[in-house]
A and B are shown apart, each in its own frame.
Chain A
Amino acid sequence: MKKIAAAILSLCIILTFSATAFAQTTDSGGTTVISTVVPDSHTITIVADGAEVSLDGTPGTNFTVDRLSEHTLTFKAGNGKEIKKILLNDEDITNKITDGKYILEGVYEDISITVITQNDGNNPNSPLTGDKSNTWLWFVILFAAGTAALCTKSYGRQKSNKY
């Protein structure tokens, strides 16, 4: 009898057992890492046709310098040339050149220097064509041809008046 009672009680416990369901509030998230690398050196590339460029007194076209280091660029035009324009990463720095020198204060990126030159004495606004012929000769020929044409016409008119 007792066993039956215990079995019934056990069965009742099992049947009536309830598990409490809590609302799940998730207060979570996560972390994210942001990173970057700042280089310890930069390159200076020089394109100068008709001029010589030196970095701290050393001529050349490609240099590697420490980041945030200071340097002096010296510009010297070649024979028969003069410097027309100097570009630093496409920025015109011609007016910032003093006595042919430019100070790079704290290099913080790769630099490209472009030096544009022109022949001495030429009008900087005239494009070079490569035609070296004397233009005055063509004017002399033109004048002579015009004179000859007028003379021929005048001679023909006088001749026709005689008849």
Chain B
Amino acid sequence: MKKFIALTLVSALALTASITAFAATITQDTSDPKTTDTVITTSIKPTYTVTIPADVKVVFNAETTSFGQIKVDSAQIEPDKCIKVSLTTDGKLKNTSDKTKVIPYTVKSGENTFTSATYLATGEYTDLTLNITKADWNKAYAGDYEDTVTFEVSYENKA
């Protein structure tokens, strides 16, 4: 039994043993100086926090409604990487009683429809708006409407 334990311990030691990296030693025994390079490596994991818009209720007949913003609250990322935030939506508010009745809408950043954006540093943000045309409001049937959009945050190579 003791032999078995000892064997197990030896195996564990062998598997988890790490090789110590000694500092390079320069021996200067002649007038010709010797040099050597020392490579120091470390790995810092990338961290980031992104704020995405909260739930929003659109006022009836409002053609433009603030949808809040996507904001990078903190970011420690690699130089060749970026944080990408993508929006997935079908662009239709569905009547909760009858899904065939819809109100089309668009999510915009400025004048352009928002689909995704990339960020590199803390503090970068994108203001978003929800837009429903007057014509679409005028055609809408009475009732409660709702839609769920998905913001996907990913860590990607810089384009």
For B103, the chain A residues whose CB sits under 8 A away are: 36, 38
Given contacts A9-B9, A23-B45, A29-B52, contact A36 B93 (CB under 8 A): yes
Interface positions, chain B 85-102, Cβ under 8 Å from A, are: 85-86, 93
Interface positions, chain B 129-147, Cβ under 8 Å from A, are: 130, 132, 137-147
For A12, the chain B residues whose CB sits under 8 A away are: 13, 17
Q: How many chain-A residues does the 8 Å CB contact rule pick out?
A: 37
Q: Are A109 and B46 in contact (CB under 8 A)?
A: no
Distance between A28 CB and nearest chain B CB, rounded to angstroms: 6
Nearest CB in chain B to that of A33: its residue: B55
Residue A128 interfacial (CB < 8 Å): no
As a 0/1 sequence over residues 25 to 44 of chain A, the CB contacts with chain B under 8 angstroms (1 = contact) are 11111111111111111000
Given contacts A9-B6, A16-B16, A24-B47, contact A34 B105 (CB under 8 A): yes
Residue A137 interfacial (CB < 8 Å): no
Residue B12 interfacial (CB < 8 Å): yes
Q: How many chain-B residues does the 8 Å CB contact rule pick out?
A: 53
As a 0/1 sequence over residues 77 to 121 of chain A, the CB contacts with chain B under 8 angstroms (1 = contact) are 000000000000000000000000000001011000000000000
Q: Please, how many angstroms separate the alpha-carbon atoms of A35 and B145 in the complex?
A: 5
For A109, the chain B residues whose CB sits under 8 A away are: 61, 138
Q: Please, how many angstroms separate the alpha-carbon atoms of A16 and B18 in the complex?
A: 6
For B146, the chain A residues whose CB sits under 8 A away are: 33-35
Q: Please, how many angstroms separate the alpha-carbon atoms of A41 and B141 in the complex?
A: 10
Residue A13 interfacial (CB < 8 Å): yes
Q: Are B149 and A36 in contact (CB under 8 A)?
A: no
Q: Are A34 and B147 in contact (CB under 8 A)?
A: yes
Q: Can you identify 5 A-B contacts, CB atoms within 8 angstroms? A: A25-B46, A30-B52, A34-B93, A36-B57, A109-B138
Residues of B within 8 A of A (CB): 2, 5-6, 9-10, 12-13, 16-18, 43, 45-48, 50, 52-61, 67, 85-86, 93, 103, 105, 130, 132, 137-155
